[in-house]
Each structure stands twice: as structure tokens, then as C-alpha cells.
Structure 1
Amino acid sequence: MKKLFLSLLVVTFINNVSAQVKAPQSSPFSKVEQKVGLTDVTVEYSRPSAKGRTIFGDLVPFGKVWRTGANANTKISFSNDVIIGGKTLKKGTYAVYTKPSAGSWEVYFYSDANNWGNPREWNDAKVALKTTAKAESMPMKVETFTVTFDDLTNNSAVLGMIWENTYVGVKFEVPTDKEVSESISKVMAGPGAGDYYAAATYYFDEGKDINQAKEWIGKAVEMTKDSPRFWYLRKQSLIHAKAGDKKGAIKAAKESLKHAEKAGNADYVKMNKESLKEWGA
């Protein structure tokens, strides 16, 4: 009983030590997500409040690199390459650092996005893109640092940073027109070889209309005739055989065998040889 009592005391002590007081952060975390055209953009940052303090030129000194928020560095992620100030920023995640001054800010997209605040050692080689943005005075004060997406169009948006009575906007352009044009061209061109192959395979596997499967696999093989795919030809041979077209099956199997041997695929070589023997070729 004494040992049990001591064990319970130890467990209680451990639980008390591991317990943590839950309280709100003074600079709460925020996550802002925005789709610009077809590009997904996400900002993750912490939001300090003024609390009666003078911000720019005092709490946030002019001429020094700022984490652009509080706590961990502010992060921005782009799902596509974007254009900022005529320069390309590759898709990915970046830390957003700024160097405020009275009339403009230098804005840095830093490739190392895993710092608590500013990097211990600044590395210019990690600056993926640098731009300058005008610092505009607002008629009212904003208590809490805020990141926004403004002036949204299908092809661009402005990354806004607001605090105290200052607004700074960084415009970025997204490749919407290119993506939409490519999508239109693909759809209007009709199904691709892979689409016909997948449809034919499904019909073959599920015992559906074998003549329809034969038509689709024929289109898949025709579309890839400049770079024959032995697995397409193998499937064509099986579909022809199931459709009762032994001559077509043998022809396709021979072609599949030839290209499988060229590719060094022993499995398909073996399967084709066995099928040709079965079909009396």
C-alpha cells in the first residue's frame, strides 16, 4: 500500500510538472489564404499591436531589417511562379523581411523561411527577390499589424502590410492567362493518348463493350506511333484477342515484343512470347 501511495505521488508530481498554463499570445498567429487567378497564395504571420507605442521609426527602427510581424518570421507561399517588379519569383515558400523608412520600404523574399525573427546571420545569397514599395500615410490608425490581399484581378494582386498609420503594398502578377490558355488548348484538342488507354483498359477489365475498347486502344496506339509504348501495344493485343481478332492480336503482340526487347523489359517480353505461342504465331 505504501508503494502504491508513493507511485501515485510520483504520477501526480509528473502531471503537475508537465501541465502548462493556457493563455492568449500577445501577438496572435494568423493565416491568410487567397486564390489569385489560379494561383494559391498563403501568408502565415504573428500580429503585434501598438498598445500606445510609436511604431515606425521607434519600435520598428528605420533602416533596419524587420521580421515584418512578431515571433517567427512571416511566411508567404506561392503555388506558381509570380512576377514582382518585373522579376520572377519561383513558386515556393519564403520569409518576408522588410527594411522600413519614412517614404518607402525595401521588401525581401528570403529563401530560408524557418527563422525565429531575423536570421542570426543575414545571407544575401538567400534573397530570392528584393523590391521597393512606397510607404503611404493613412488617415486613421490601425492598432494591430495586418497583412491583406488588395486590388485583386485574375492576373495580379497587391500584398498589403498595414500598421499604425502606414500602408505598404507590393504588387505581384500571376500566370493566369498562360494557364487558362494551356487548359483551353488541352481540352479543345480532345482526349490524350493516356485518356484513351485508361478508358480502353477499364472497358477491357470490366467486361464492357469490347469493340469500344478496341477503338479507344487503337487511338492510343496511333497517337503514340512516333514513340511506341510496349504496354499500350500489349493491351491492344489482349483487347483484339478478346474481340476475336486473332490476326490483330498477333500483330500487336509482335510490335509489343519488339519494343519491350528494345526497352529491356523482361516481364513484357515473357508475356508477349507466351501470348504469341498461345495464339499459334
Structure 2
Amino acid sequence: MKLKRILTFSNIIFFTTVVLLLFSIKTYAQWSYGMEVSPRQSPDKKLFHKIGYTDIEIKYGSPSVKGRKVWGELVPYDKVWRAGANNATVIEFGEDVEINGKALAAGKYGFFILPMDNDRWDIIFNKVYDQWGSFRYDEKEDVLRVQTLPVESKFTEDLTYSVESKGPEYGIIYINWERYKIGFEVKTNHLSHIEMVLTKSYRKADPILKWVCYVEGADYLLKHNAKLDLAIKWINQSEKEVLALKQEWNPKYTSKEFVMGNMYWIKARLLAIKCDFKGALEAADKMKMLKAGFLYYPTFKDNMKIDETIANWENGKN
């Protein structure tokens, strides 16, 4: 009877040990999938940036060097890396973009890097963004792969993502860590949004300034040499609205005549591009005839070479 009790007690101890062991394994598994209670040694970070009208968001874990050799050891060559720490890095584009010249649809992606020794590295956008590290990475789920050449850079202790804007439609995303900088180009189609943006701005604008929205829109298209027929339509609309304006001009704003001078000069250049030199000269004359204390023509006459440009138009040249 006593032996039976001992065996029963041993069974209880054994069963309890197994349960605790299984619970510990489960707890560790949860920890390894980012569910730990204690703070992470590699803190989670988030980067939000706009290129043109396109939102870009990057979520990543930021490991530190801590005196270790990173490339080729901590991050092995020839093995897909999560491009950060903890969960796989996630990158989201609000609009369709081009990555190093290749199309990528708007959406959220797992972001990985394949480092290579003395060679170009692969930048990978994968359908599966919700995963721990790159342990379950599946090449079959790749949406896009492009190559980049890492360059040596100043030492960076903590892995950091950044975006360098190169204009209204173009930028470079960089990953800086240890003594390497890895970058890839992002290009957006900002001009596809210009009409929507102008419409929103027009609705919100002070009634005295609504015509200025068309001036800015036309100027933007002129600078990018895009949708010039639309730009001419807008600049004509701005002229029509400002000439019909009944409200008294608010002195806190830039001189109305200054903005009108800009408007006429934009119109003149647009018409000249279309080889309507007669119309361009008429618009330029209207700019010159404006009278006020602060005017566009005398302010920018020299550095924009306005008189030289007008002389070319008089000779039928752009």
C-alpha cells in the first residue's frame, strides 16, 4: 500500500514536471514570436515619410552593434536577413511606386535583404509581412527583388532607416548600420494626384485666394513640363477669377499684383512652349503694366532673365 502511494506521488511529480516543461516551451515560443513581457534589447521603431503625395511607413527592430562584427558574422552572407531585429521589417506604400525602376503595387510587404560578400545585395519585398524574423521566409512569396550595391559609411551603432528626398516624386530609402549604408530608389507618380490635390485646396482656400490655387497648380505643371494643356486651362481660370474678384484684398497676404505678375509670367511661358508667341508677349505686357509697391517683374527681372526671354519670343524663338 505504501509502495503504491509512493508510485502515485511519483507519477504526480512526473506529470507536473512535464506540464511545467511544456508550459515553459510554449512561453519561450511566445517570447520568440515577439510576445515577451520584458523590454526588447532591440527596440521597435517606426519611420513615416512622404515622397510626393505617397505615404511610406517602415516598422523595424533596431539592433545595436555592441562591439560585434556585423556583416558576415552577426548577419551572415548568402542568407536572407530580416533587415532589422525581432519581427520581420514591414514596409508599406500608400500608392503604386517604382523600386530601382521596377513597378511595385501599393500595399504592405515583409522587407528582407540578402547580403553578399563582395557583390550586389538583393532587396526583397515579400507578401508575408507578419512573421518573426526570416525563419519562415518563403522565396515563393516574393513580389519583387532588386539589387543594390552597399557602400561604406560612417559608423552607426543602432540600425537606422531614413529617407532622403530628391524632389516631389523621387527619394532614396537608406538602411545604416555599422559601417555600411544600403539604399534603394523609390519613385512615385505624383502628377497623377495633382488635380485631386488642387480641388481639395480650392475648396479649403480663403475666397480671396481661390484663384491662387490655379496659379500654383499651373506653375507646378510648368516646372515639370507635364500636362501643359491642363496648366493653360488653370492659368486662364486663375486670370478669370482674379479679374472678377469683388472682395477687398487682405493686407496680410502678399501683394495681389505680385501674385498676378507671377500668374501672367506663367501664362506667357506656357503659351511660348506652345509656340503662341503673340499670346506669350501679350501676357508678358500685362505683367509689366501692373502697378503696386511690390511687383513680380522688377523683383525677378534679372535673375529670371525676363527681358532676354521676351526678346527671343519677339524673334519667334523659345
Q: Does 1:154 align with 2:182?
A: no
Q: 1:95 is matched with which residue?
A: 110
Partner AA of 2:127 in structure 1:
S
Out of 40, 45, 66, the residue aligned to residue 81 of structure 2 is 66
Partner AA of 2:83 in structure 1:
T
**In structure 2, do the counterparts of structure 1 residues 106 and 164 end up closer, same or farther at CA, with 3 Å as the change threshold?**
same
State the Cα distance separating 1:123 from its structure 2 match.
3.4
Secondary structure in 2 aligned to 1:147? strand
Give the percent of matched residue pairs that are identical in Structure 1 and Structure 2. Answer: 30
Unaligned runs of 5+ in 2: 1-35, 203-318
Once the two structures are superposed, what CA deviation does each residue of 1:97-146 show, in whole Å capped at 9, x if it has no partner?
0001234210000011011011525132x2111100111011x3111111
1:97, 1:64 → 2: CA distance? 10
**In structure 2, do the counterparts of structure 1 residues 187 and 52 end up closer, same or farther at CA, with 3 Å as the change threshold?**
closer
**In structure 2, do the counterparts of structure 1 residues 143 and 186 end up closer, same or farther at CA, with 3 Å as the change threshold?**
closer
1:123, 1:62 → 2: CA distance? 17
1:121, 1:161 → 2: CA distance? 20
State the Cα distance separating 1:49 from its structure 2 match.
0.4
When structure 1 is superposed on structure 2, of 169-178 and 114-123 the one drifting more is: 114-123
Partner AA of 1:83 in structure 2:
E
Q: 4+ runs of 1 displaced by more than 2 Å?
A: 21-24, 181-188
TM-score w.r.t. structure 1 length?
0.55
1:186, 1:158 → 2: CA distance? 28
State the Cα distance separating 1:52 from its structure 2 match.
0.5
Q: 1:257 is matched with which residue?
A: none
2:55, 2:200 → 1: CA distance? 22
Q: 2:53 is matched with which residue?
A: 38
Partner AA of 1:108 in structure 2:
I
Matched length:
167
1:96, 1:121 → 2: CA distance? 10
Secondary structure in 1 aligned to 2:192? helix
Out of 133, 146, 165, the residue aligned to residue 117 of structure 1 is 133
1:137, 1:91 → 2: CA distance? 31
When structure 1 is superposed on structure 2, of 177-186 and 65-74 the one drifting more is: 177-186
**In structure 2, do the counterparts of structure 1 residues 86 and 22 end up closer, same or farther at CA, with 3 Å as the change threshold?**
closer
1:74, 1:80 → 2: CA distance? 19
State the Cα distance separating 1:88 from its structure 2 match.
1.1
State the Cα distance separating 1:167 from its structure 2 match.
0.3
Secondary structure in 1 aligned to 2:134? coil
Q: Does 1:131 align with 2:146?
A: yes
Aligned 8 A contact 1:103 1:136 in 2: no
Matches within 5 A, 1:227-266: none
Secondary structure in 2 aligned to 1:179? helix
Secondary structure in 2 aligned to 1:177? helix
Secondary structure in 1 aligned to 2:91? strand
1:163, 1:186 → 2: CA distance? 41
1:148, 1:187 → 2: CA distance? 29
Secondary structure in 1 aligned to 2:150? strand
Out of 117, 122, 131, the residue aligned to residue 106 of structure 1 is 122
Aligned 8 A contact 1:31 1:44 in 2: yes
State the Cα distance separating 1:184 from its structure 2 match.
4.9
**In structure 2, do the counterparts of structure 1 residues 186 and 59 end up closer, same or farther at CA, with 3 Å as the change threshold?**
closer
Unaligned runs of 5+ in 1: 1-20, 189-281
Q: Which has the higher strand share?
A: 1
Aligned 8 A contact 2:93 2:107 in 1: yes
Out of 59, 80, 86, the residue aligned to residue 95 of structure 2 is 80
Once the two structures are superposed, what CA deviation does each residue of 1:15-48 show, in whole Å capped at 9, x if it has no partner?
xxxxxx9643210000000011101100000000
2:188, 2:107 → 1: CA distance? 13
State the Cα distance separating 1:185 from its structure 2 match.
8.4
Out of 162, 177, 186, the residue aligned to residue 191 of structure 2 is 177
